[in-house]
Amino acid sequence: MTSSVPRTASKPFAGVELGGTKCVAILAAGPGAILDQRIVPTTVPDETLPALGAILGEWAGGPGFAALGIASFGPLDLDPHSPRYGRVLATNKSGWSDADVLGRLSAPFDVPTGFDTDVNGAALAEMRWGAGRGIDDFAYVTVGTGVGVGLVVHGRPTRGIGHSEIGHLRVPRYPGDSFESVCGFHADCIEGLASGTALKARIGDRAVADVSVDDPVWAPIVDALAAMCHALVCSTGPMRIAMGGGVMTAQPHLIPAINAALKQSLAGYMALPVEDYVVAPELGDLAGPLGAIAVAASAAEGHGITRMAAE
């Protein structure tokens, strides 16, 4: 994994980050070289994808771009041998199941194209320009409406039967916690117990801003997120974990609490490489859009799963 934009690139990269409520189209070479950035609402594929395609077409006819990166909400089919490669799989996002995101966005452009999840893209961006610089084994966690994890092992995002869904790992409940999970699939997964959606359900009519840092509501959330980190340490062993997303950004007290709970959970069995193992992402809100640029840069370098639109 390189730590910067390929030196051979004579043009910027184009990226599209598809999110649940909005999509970001970005033309850039890195954090210090963002040439254009535009937001398109996420409505239905027949509205959102043509709007994004029009922006890409405008850039292709102007400054041009060396490669295209698409980082999307999932679940996604990332197997290039699958007939559904590049499509959204079963999702609660109305109208998006089986949407051909990769095909519709990449077809007009004869450039290398990379396709991955939004959280894997953010992980790759942090590895190039942020908290994961110089690291080949890294995890990026976003705690917002849901819980997503971008997991990179030996410099590549994990694959296997599909991209990682670590937010749906089932974890032991915090003692005495009888909260009803907000996940429609699992009664005790991390997303169901510790996401922003779960936090709002736990506090009822209270505003999140009014919840003090010593409120008991944080204990089961910290416990679930630390259990997720424990599982990551004992399975793929990332050298560092960055935790971002709306909940973590608004509640900076959670990261030191998770670090402490993780060390207690590991109980000395495995040594962590640094004292502050769980950190905030350095790219902040730009991790997502720059994730699409990092996916494009990887495609230009020939790393990961790529596709030429002319094929």
pTM for this model (two decimals): 0.90
Print burial letters for 198-213: b (CB count within 10 Å at least 16), e (below 16): bbeebeeeeeeeebee
- Among the residue ranges 68-77, 124-133, 158-167, the one predicted with the least confidence is 158-167
Name the H helices within the chain.
45-61, 101-106, 118-129, 190-194, 196-203, 218-235, 246-250, 254-266, 287-301
Separation of alpha carbons 210 and 225, rounded Å? 22
Print burial letters for 6-43: b (CB count within 10 Å at least 16), e (below 16): eeebeebbbbbbbbeeebbbbbbbbbeebeeeeebebe
3-state helix, strand, coil in the chain (%, to 5): 35, 20, 45
Region(s) of the chain under CATH 3.30.420.40: 13-118+289-308, 131-281
Domain 13-118+289-308: CATH class, spelled out: alpha beta
Determine the CATH number of domain 131-281: 3.30.420.40
Per-residue pLDDT, averaged over 122-137, amounts to 97
In sequence order, the 6+-apart residues with CB closer than 8 A to the CB of 225 are 141, 143, 190, 194, 243, 254, 258
Q: Specify the pLDDT at position 7.
A: 39
Q: Is the pLDDT of residue 214 over 90?
A: yes
The tokens for 90 are 């079963």
User: Mind listing the pLDDT tens digit for each residue in 24-74?
Assistant: 999 999 999 999 999 999 999 999 999 999 999 999 999 999 999 999 998
- Long-range CB pairs of 256-262, under 8 A, 24+ apart, other chains included: 257/218, 257/222, 258/222, 258/225, 258/226, 258/229, 261/222, 261/223, 261/226, 262/226, 262/229, 262/230, 262/233
